[in-house]
A and B are shown apart, each in its own frame.
Chain A
Amino acid sequence: MDVTNLESVRDEDFIHAVMEESGQDLTHCYQCGNCTAGCPCGFAYDIQVSQIMRNLQAGRKDKILNSRSIWLCLSCSSCTTRCPNNIDVARVMDVLRHIARREGRVAEKGVTTFWDAFLASVRKHGRVYELGVVANYVARTGRVWTDIDLLPRIAPKGKLSPMPHGIRGRDEIARIFQRYEEERTR
């Protein structure tokens, strides 16, 4: 059994940051479990989504931000749709990822490596270059056999663009990322 002294782990700043950034009142959760019952990815989670909500109320920052669950959430909005207290749970999960990224805590590195490869492609070309994203992901993770089994299925279909589709305004897109980074490090 997991025994915790709630007084010593309660992080008020964390609770307020999540409430503020998500615009959701976490105190409204009464642990009905609808979010967990409907969550398609619960089988892969280390902490179920309703447990994340309860831990949030208790301000257990480390427990939440070190979890795998926040990275495996598929953003499908089943939890939000089924919450009887109208909490946008999916948005809370998004905000937990934002805070974890700012603090450099990522328990599922493969997921963020893929997302970073995706955004690097957008920043460079203005639009996503699919083959480039996969190549970047493979280069960063060393997982060279990723989806190699799919190659004979998709290659003859003429769908994979050999070249990126750059746009005229790609400097404009790069500036969006640059300003975002400047704001973040300020």
Chain B
Amino acid sequence: MNLAYYPGCSGLGTSREYERSTRAACAALGVKLTDIPDWSCCGSTPAHALEHALSGALSARNLVGAARAGCDTVATPCPSCLSNLKTARHRMADTAFRARVGRLLDQPADELAALPDVQSVLETLVTRVGLDAIRARVRQPLAGLRVAPYYGCIMTRPADVMRFDDPENPTSMDDLLTALGAEVVPFPYKVECCGASYGVTRRDIVARLSGRLLGAARDAGAHAVVVACPLCQMNLDLRQSQVEWPGGKAVDMPVFYFTQLLGRALGVPDAELGLEQLCVDPAIAFRRAAQVVAARQAEEAAQAAKAAAQAAKAAQAKQAAAANEGGRA
């Protein structure tokens, strides 16, 4: 099965580190990505909020490009791109819609009848490579790192179009992070919206919704939030300085792309993962994880010392008893 890759526009800009770490992690796992030749923007929310046929045409041009390149599946890291590409393909089953989209495109409408399947890079990794294979390649487990997995609102919804994981309580990223050695904290806001692209136009909405997410991660004892969406990442990381923290208690909460942690666990050098491009210093999370590991080791050492002391005491008592018995005999 040939896998086409649709990077999405933000990968050339504000989510450059997602793009870099996705390519690096896929390469480390032997997943070959063929870029769709001369791919174009899917139109994102501004297109589907204006007109569905326009959104369908902007998406379909890319799916036709993937089909022409001999690919039967398209993988994309961005959930907004994913949602548009999948929705376009889903709606092409309707012949009237297909005809309308066909009228907007240069490409002949008959090419719209059988478009390639679309999946997220997360789905590609957990279904094609598989968790067992990924676990077997882990070189640097994420020991002690407590993470809140945040999927964003549209990677799994609406369920009849997205057809991946549970729409309200997805677990694929939880499982992946666990396989990498991280500790997943209970996080109730896995699919609650962060405020999407309203940061520019209505900052109050993003400040409240993203603040709520970060506050929940803080209260769950997470060292970091892990995301799969460029817009979520921007809201939680870049705009962390703007959010309203519930209870007013702000903390520094690093926000990773899951591909960055995957790459790190696989032994990919940090320089290829774009960790330095995150706004909140990721070293904060790694330091906290190291503290957990150190505390655990100290605890284990104390336990071992205690056990050894008890064993020594018991041996001494036994020796004394034996000596007593020997004396009597």
Contacts and interface: CB of A to CB of B under 8 A. Distances in A.
Given A41-B205, A150-B241, A114 B153 contact: no
A78 B43 contact: no
B137 interface: no
B200 interface: yes
Given A110-B202, A147-B199, A168-B38, A130 B13 contact: yes
Contacts of A147: 199-200, 203
Contact of B205 (A44, A149, A183, A184): A44
Contacts of A115: 45-46, 49-50
Interface string A156-175: 01111100010111101101
A114 B200 contact: yes
Given A98-B50, A159-B14, A137 B200 contact: yes
A120 to B, nearest CB: 10
Contacts of B199: 147
Contacts of B10: 128, 130
Given A80-B158, A126-B40, A179-B103, A72 B49 contact: no
Contact of B238 (A44, A77, A150): A150
A105 interface: no
B161 to A, nearest CB: 9
Contacts, number: 173
Contact of B104 (A74, A126, A154, A176): A176
A39 B27 CA distance: 39
A158 B54 contact: no
Nearest to A73: B49
Interface size on B, as a range, is: 35 or more
A173 B198 contact: no
Contacts of B159: 81
Contact of A158 (B39, B53, B277): B277
Nearest to A133: B200
B201 A114 contact: yes
13 contacts: A76-B196, A77-B157, A78-B191, A81-B158, A114-B46, A116-B46, A153-B238, A157-B277, A159-B15, A160-B13, A170-B40, A172-B106, A176-B54
Interface of B: 9-10, 12-17, 38-41, 43-54, 57-58, 61, 103-106, 153-154, 157-159, 167-168, 191-193, 195-205, 208-209, 238-239, 241-242, 276-279
Interface of A: 40-41, 43-44, 72, 74-78, 80-81, 88, 90, 94, 97-98, 101, 108, 110-111, 113-116, 118-119, 122, 126-128, 130-131, 134, 137, 146-147, 149-150, 153-154, 157-161, 165, 167-170, 172-173, 175-177, 179-180, 183-184
